[in-house]
A = this chain, B = another copy of it.
Amino acid sequence: MASELSSQVLKGDHRAVAKAISIVEAGGEPSRKLIQELYPHTGKAFTIGVTGPTGTGKSTLVDKMVGEYRERGCSVGVLAIDPSSAFTGGALLGDRVRMMDHSLEKKVYIRSMASRGDLGGLARAARNTMRVLDAAGMDVVIVETVGAGQTEVQIASTVDATIVVLMPQLGDEVQAFKAGFAEIGDLFVINKSDIVNPSKTIYNIASGLQERDGWRPPVLKTVAVKGTGVPAVVDAIEKFQKHLDTGSLREKRLSKRIRSELVDAAFSDFYHETVTRLGDQKEFDSLVGRVVKRELDPETAASRLVGIISKIGEKA
């Protein structure tokens, strides 16, 4: 039943994995079919999200984490979500080149994905890319994101564990990040801790964190560029991993993630299927015409359009 491509992915073939990821990135029917074939073979990989402001050294940390996991005998897949922004796109590519040393190894797979306008589409592509890497036999899959808060939060809702990377003395930025990031981090890393004493930053972060599901997120310090503190980060992740496995917490979290994934995917599919057909609906044209002529107000017209949408959706 499985296609040739799926079989090759399951064997961990790098070229097949590359092709499969391109397919899930493009989405649509081919992606759907592929995921249908691969999904039963997933669930072995532990997925980790690494996020935080630009300049905190996330890529270097991920690079060193890959090395540490390799030393522990684990295979690692990395998905780096690059912001499409013209302002920061360049800097990121430089970091990527360094990481490529690892990608020559068979047990490491590294892939970048551009973050475009469509946030929902990106989250879906990222989830399915993690599934491809999982099916290909990776023990650990790391997803790295940069920048705008919304992407981070959405990606965090797709992984088993989220690491938030900060650095000492970010000042106002720390405040801003704490607001949105305190809730998504299972582990906080203060990188570049050799620049200034990180104690104050660690205190500020730690005091804003709360225990959740019996886990109090630790705040660790690293100097990723020298590898300092990286084994402790991997230790902490493994400890969290064990914590998740107790009392079916991992399944509880997975269930919550699947719930929101299905809602997002279904509404997105519903929207795309329905909006295309809306173009042929004379009823819709007539609504628009009446609003333009001010015979009908836009709120009433929108309510009626909800009815039209439901009817089209029902027929689909």
Contacts and interface: CB of A to CB of B under 8 A. Distances in A.
Interface string A274-300: 110010000010011101101001111
A26 interface: no
A126 to B, nearest CB: 13
Contacts of A274: 267
A262 B36 contact: no
Contact of A35 (B39, B148, B269, B297): B297
A304 B300 CA distance: 30
A156 B270 CA distance: 26
Contact of A278 (B263, B298, B308, B310): B263
A298 B39 contact: yes
A203 interface: no
Given A287-B262, A313-B310, A86 B297 contact: no
Contact of A316 (B251, B288, B310): B310
Interface stretch (A98-106, A187-195, A215-223, A253-261): A253-261
A242 interface: no
Interface in A237-267: 251, 254-255, 258-259, 261-263, 265-267
B278 A176 contact: no
A172 interface: yes
A199 interface: no
Contacts of A42: 294
Nearest to A42: B294
A305 B127 CA distance: 18
A288 B278 CA distance: 30
Contact of A265 (B172, B254, B302): B302
A313 B305 contact: no
Q: What bracket does the count of chain A residues touching chain B fall in?
A: 35 or more
Nearest to A287: B262
A269 B172 contact: no
Quick one: which of A39, A251, A258, A266 has the most chain B CB within 10 A? A266
A306 B254 contact: no
A22 interface: no
Nearest to A39: B297
A117 interface: yes
A294 B259 contact: no
Contacts of A309: 266-267, 270, 313
A284 B258 CA distance: 11
Interface of A: 31-32, 35-36, 39-40, 42-43, 85-87, 117, 127, 148, 150, 172, 175-176, 179, 251, 254-255, 258-259, 261-263, 265-267, 269-271, 273-275, 278, 284, 287-289, 291-292, 294, 297-303, 305-306, 308-311, 313-314, 316
Given A266-B303, A269-B302, 12 more contacts: A32-B303, A36-B297, A40-B294, A42-B294, A86-B176, A262-B284, A262-B302, A263-B275, A267-B271, A267-B275, A269-B306, A306-B316
20 contacts: A32-B303, A35-B297, A39-B294, A39-B297, A43-B294, A86-B176, A251-B292, A258-B288, A258-B292, A258-B298, A261-B302, A262-B301, A262-B302, A262-B305, A263-B278, A267-B309, A269-B306, A270-B310, A310-B314, A313-B313
